[in-house]
Amino acid sequence: MNTAGSKGIFVGGASGMCLATATQFQQKGGQIAILDLPGSEGAAIASKLGGSFHPCDVMDYAATDQAVGDAVAALGGLHFVLNTAGGGNRAVGGTPQRTVKKDGSRHSTDTFAKVVALNLVASFNINTAAAQHMSSNEPNDKGERGVMINTASIAAFEGQIGQVAYSAAKGGIAAMTLTMARDLGSLGIRCMTIAPSLFATGLTAGVPAEGAHNMTKDAAFPQRMGEPDEFATMALSIFECPMMNGSTLRVDGGQRFAPK
């Protein structure tokens, strides 16, 4: 699809990779709406990009449906949704844990379920809400009605010790991508997932330089954290290329996580 003249919703768009993608989308002539937490910078960023802000927590599925609906109304349509809201155990108030810890206790099932809810169930909910809106679009001259991109992680494929919940949740996002693309193929709606390695975003802002070096030293090239603009370039390439569908693309400099 052409970015110029298209309308996009950016969930998690107040920071990092989603902000970079919203910015590039707007710079190429697209119209944007940002969904993010109420306490985020979403309002100021949306105003700077000439768009609208719709605060919500993606774990509140009904409120997210409402926010997606409000965003579509503000945009006057919907062609693109990118979702990056997510995270691991810490994002839901827990700590990284082994399946059975060294003291013999078990990984918290509550934390596991919350990580799955934040990443997998919330992505599914955003996708179904967005696809329902996209389904009423007039198709373009290639038969396309819209594109959805979710965010996994290379931990979906080689999760490190302590990441069992995060790996399961991101693996679920990767696994649903082809099925969702098949479900939505007759509607001309594409579904893709990006699996980044470490990227320099709000999520990793607290990682010291030495830690960042250690965490990226087994990448092939480049051996550094990715830049949000590099994620954005991939996301917009997917949006613009009709043949990109049903896959999870690693954007990782050839990195494969070791067990720890």
Residue closer to ligand NAD (CB basis): 75 or 152: 152
Residue 177: which H helix or E strand, with range? helix 164-185
Part of the chain binding ligand NAD (CB under 6 A), chosen from 1-9, 16-24, 139-147, 185-193: 16-24
* Catalytic residue selected from 25, 53, 61, 166: 166
**Long-range pairs for 111-116: beta carbons < 8 A, 24 or more residues apart:** 111/165, 112/164, 112/165, 112/168, 114/59, 115/87, 115/88, 115/89, 115/91, 115/165, 115/166, 115/168, 115/169, 116/165, 116/168, 116/169, 116/172
Residue closer to ligand NAD (CB basis): 145 or 153: 153
Shortest distance, CB of residue 21 to ligand NAD, whole angstroms? Answer: 9
Within 187-206, which residues bind ligand NAD (CB under 6 A)? 196, 198-199, 201-204
Shortest distance, CB of residue 215 to ligand NAD, whole angstroms? Answer: 9
Query: Cα separation of 156 and 175, whole Å?
Result: 10
Active site residue 166: yes
Residue with tokens 């809201």: 85
**According to CB under 6 A, which one of 1, 9, 17, 22 is a site residue for ligand NAD?**
17
Residue with tokens 């060294």: 102
Q: Which amino acids are annotated catalytic?
A: 166
**Residues near ligand NAD (CB under 6 A):** 12, 14-18, 36-37, 40, 57-59, 84-87, 118, 151, 153, 196, 198-199, 201-204
